[in-house]
Structure 1
């Protein structure tokens, strides 16, 4: 007898987290492509959303928009959703009481990172409160909680008592994430310098990256900077010895612009130790960009031998080496490691998870 796996696609209209929104669609495409014989993929979406994923069998459009739905589900109010096998690629899920044994109802959710617990100052207070509340509901009602790495699983076990319900299923780079043909034009439109390294991290962790740019004699480009952070980061760069004119701060870019920027970088450095899926590091490896990262559990799990993992005080030297003499070797290692991740593989494991439940 076939199964119908119902996937929550909540960010088709209102995007709260661009990475998770992209991952949800990519996973849905993978689930359709890898569906076992006789099984189908359905979608659960907020009001006003249109599903463009080819092969989705049925779409349940709810009466509430995404914001209203998030508030209702936080309170455990989920009218009109129905039962069955429900998988959410985020914490956004109808986490209510159900009977897995007699009705074959299942609800699984995904936790990509633990910023709301380990670095709450990086998120709006409302987002922190919502994520913490939804994890509490997951503890009560989720049949499984998916995390992207063993390090996140270990940290999650310290935050919530899930009693063996945690499952590790990795993510991947966005589907079709390649260097765009107009990469040079995109870099010019973004005012990218000729030689640069790309950095991600928090204001507290980027100092080592700026010092690495100084040691390498190149500019630094910061990606995913919060709105209004540019003056503060420019000051930090200057304090690290990098003139403000050589510190280029950018917010959230489109996947095409991001690919153009990462492909043109001499190296990439992930400076934050917060437990989570390292989106940009995986993208950099996919493009063959040399990767340097702070030595944390999440980076050990995901980057492994695909880059240089160093303590915080070693990032500057490692970044300088990665952008110079170590670049050819690191490009090969990054590309090889990136092949370990694909949405098809992730989708197969999601099917396996629901079969096991």
Structure 2
């Protein structure tokens, strides 16, 4: 009988992180498509969840909802889950004692970023505490912790004693990520100008991005801003020399709206240097948008030669260049680099990981 890989899909009803929720589904599709002969993909889901992914085998529906399950698993209480090969595309996993050698039980988890340690102000206090607690459980019970880049792996090794259990498996953009046919209408509905750059980063590091937009003489759009952050971000823009009317602050957008906004941008610039998977930068490269990023370990690993990597104080000058002389070259480089990432490739590496274990 072939192997059965059981994937934890915990955000089907209660979405905590839209990027990670989307990645979990895309990875599952990839695992099904690349499953070795005789192997199947099952799912473990909270109460009330329904799995709509074609090709999933057995679905184990647990008795607790997602919120209650998170609290239970943090305490190491995981009744009804069962054994076998289990992978969670997040830290949300039944991290309990098991016997990999004699029972062939395996539990692996994915850690997408280290904000809970390096930038805790970007998360709620409860989420920071939960993630730190789950990493402690992973140190005790995970057979492997998957991270999306070597920079994250290096930083994680400083935070936790995991030894050779840290494995690097890159992420990818959402499947079939492309500008929708009604992209112009979507941008109009979001009241965006004809020309703009898209900025990514926290309030603490967006100043350089706004300064770059001002230097390039172009409007700036920030996606995914926290609720109620618009006045603060507008003040940051003004302090950086960009008039408030030219700073367009938007909250979380669905995949189609996000693709529409990125597709219409002259440039994508990210000023964040924290260790993690750069979701928006990968999406921008997929659409062939010029990318400028603060030079950091994660950006060197993921963006590499697909964009301009510069020091924080050089962001403004790089943005001016990227919207002018270097624009065409950067579009080609971005599109070429984006082809390095796919969920099928990530899935194959994950199958290989479990085979190694």
Could you list the per-position Cα deviations for residues 13-47 of structure 1 after superposition, in whole angstroms to 9, with x for gaps in the alignment? 00000000000000000000000000000000000
- Corresponding residue number in structure 1 for 2:47: 47
Separation (CA, whole Å) in 1 of partners of 2:143 and 2:201: 33
Could you list the per-position Cα deviations for residues 234-268 of structure 1 after superposition, in whole angstroms to 9, with x for gaps in the alignment? 00100111110100011110010000000000000
- Corresponding residue number in structure 1 for 2:226: 226
Separation (CA, whole Å) in 2 of partners of 1:241 and 1:32: 50
Classify the secondary structure of the residue corresponding to 2:163.
coil
- Corresponding residue number in structure 2 for 1:127: 127
Offset at residue 8 of structure 1 (A): 0.2
Query: What is the total number of aligned residue pairs between the two structures?
Result: 357
Matched, 1:38 2:44: no
- Corresponding residue number in structure 2 for 1:313: 313
Separation (CA, whole Å) in 2 of partners of 1:249 and 1:325: 27
Classify the secondary structure of the residue corresponding to 1:185.
helix
Separation (CA, whole Å) in 2 of partners of 1:54 and 1:319: 43
**CA RMSD in angstroms, aligned pairs only:** 0.5
- Corresponding residue number in structure 2 for 1:196: 196
- Corresponding residue number in structure 2 for 1:253: 253
Separation (CA, whole Å) in 2 of partners of 1:54 and 1:21: 17
Separation (CA, whole Å) in 2 of partners of 1:105 and 1:83: 6
1:93-172 equivalences in 2 (<5 Å): 93-172=93-172
Separation (CA, whole Å) in 2 of partners of 1:279 and 1:227: 20
Could you list the per-position Cα deviations for residues 189-223 of structure 1 after superposition, in whole angstroms to 9, with x for gaps in the alignment? 01111110000101111111101111111100011
- Corresponding residue number in structure 1 for 2:324: 324
Separation (CA, whole Å) in 2 of partners of 1:9 and 1:157: 27
- The answer to which of 140-149 and 202-211 deviates more is 202-211
- Corresponding residue number in structure 2 for 1:84: 84
- Corresponding residue number in structure 2 for 1:58: 58
Separation (CA, whole Å) in 1 of partners of 2:204 and 2:92: 30
Classify the secondary structure of the residue corresponding to 2:41.
strand
Offset at residue 132 of structure 1 (A): 0.1
- Corresponding residue number in structure 2 for 1:240: 240
- Corresponding residue number in structure 1 for 2:264: 264
Offset at residue 164 of structure 1 (A): 1.1
Classify the secondary structure of the residue corresponding to 1:47.
coil
Gaps of 5+ in 1: none
Separation (CA, whole Å) in 2 of partners of 1:228 and 1:97: 43
